[in-house]
Amino acid sequence: GAVVSQHPSWVICKSGTSVKIECRSLDFQATTMFWYRQFPKQSLMLMATSNEGSKATYEQGVEKDKFLINHASLTLSTLTVTSAHPEDSSFYICSARDRIRTQYFGPGTRLTVL
């Protein structure tokens, strides 16, 4: 089956620093990737849609200047949380859409901001 990886799996950082999370589709090319966020005991919430070679589309209420998304190749998308604060602590999950439009999810990245 299709495999999506994320790196790092967890990260702890100080308030005010920036953190980059990578999402890779390992065995297929993905023109579209998605970034989700999940707070404890809540469901996944879509943050943005990332299209290869173009600007990401952000969901309402998600600050594009705070959550920078780059989709430079058909197998890699990155999410950078800029000037992270404790309220940004969450489980960040990416997904990649294959050619028959099924989304496969990465294992997630646990971000803790101190």
Pairing relationship of beta strands 4-7 and 19-25 according to DSSP bridges: antiparallel
Closest distance between other proteins and the C-beta of residue 43, in Å? 5
DSSP-assigned beta bridge partners for residue 80:
20, 68
Coil, helix or strand at residue 42: coil
Closest distance between other proteins and the C-beta of residue 69, in Å? 15
d(CA 112, CA 13): 6
The residue ranges that bind other proteins (CB under 8 A) are: 1-2, 4, 6, 32, 34, 36, 43-46, 49, 91, 93, 95, 97, 101-108, 110
d(CA 70, CA 98): 18
Closest distance between other proteins and the C-beta of residue 29, in Å? 15
Closer of 16 and 107 to other proteins (Cβ): 107
d(CA 109, CA 93): 6
Please say whether the dihedral angle defined by the alpha carbons of residues 47, 12, 83 and 77, taken in this order, is positive or negative: negative
Closer of 14 and 100 to other proteins (Cβ): 100
Closest distance between other proteins and the C-beta of residue 51, in Å? 9
Closer of 14 and 41 to other proteins (Cβ): 41
Closer of 66 and 110 to other proteins (Cβ): 110
